[in-house]
Amino acid sequence: MSGNFLTKSGALDATESMIEKNYPVPLVSAKELSTMLQKEESTALFDTRTQEEYEKSHISGAVLVPPQTPTDDFIREHGEMIRGKTAVFYCSVGQRSSDFLHRAYKACKAAGAKECHNLRGGIFRWYNEGYRVVNGNGETDDIHGYNPLWGMMIKKR
């Protein structure tokens, strides 16, 4: 095993690779998502973490969709929001959002989504690359670690 795995970035890289092998879904990088969000009308952003994680911090403009939400419920609640747009899903590191997108991809496309992507590395990669996150009080540097092991992949600012 590479010594790089012991670094925060190396551990996140290895986690991303494992997730991508298990869930072959379209991906978008943090930099690509940042560019997409500057064109607000063309992107619908969904956070597939828990309410507690979302409240601690999320990417500005993201809509909370609990990870176990049935696809039919998601389309019923958000179908209009994704029509004609690129839908992007994220969680902590990409595991839950990849699973969600894997289940919901065909339904999202059938509901009129132009494209559907998972944010590679999730909110951890987003934050580690210097992009801002928010909570109910505005910008924050507080990221929910999901669990102690995964939380070690977050670079403290």
Interatomic CA distance for residues 101 and 141, integer angstroms:
27
| Superfamily of 3-143 according to CATH | Rhodanese-like domain (3.40.250.10)
The residue behind tokens 């987003």 is 126
pTM assigned to the model: 0.92
**How confident is the model over 85-136, as pLDDT tens digits?**
999 999 999 999 999 999 999 999 999 999 999 999 999 999 999 999 999 9
How confident is residue 1, by pLDDT bands cut at 50, 70 and 90? very low
**How confident is the model over 35-48, as pLDDT tens digits?**
999 886 799 999 99
Interatomic CA distance for residues 20 and 14, integer angstroms:
10
**Nearest residue to 143 via CA among 18, 28, 151:** 151
**Nearest residue to 117 via CA among 22, 23, 26, 20:** 26
Whether the CB-CB separation of 119 and 86 falls below 8 Å is answered with: no
Helix ranges restricted to H, 23-110: 30-37, 51-56, 71-82, 95-110
Q: Where are the domains of the chain?
A: 3-143
**How confident is the model over 82-94, as pLDDT tens digits?**
999 999 999 999 9
Whether the CB-CB separation of 106 and 56 falls below 8 Å is answered with: no
Backbone angles phi, psi at 120, to 5 degrees: -60, 120
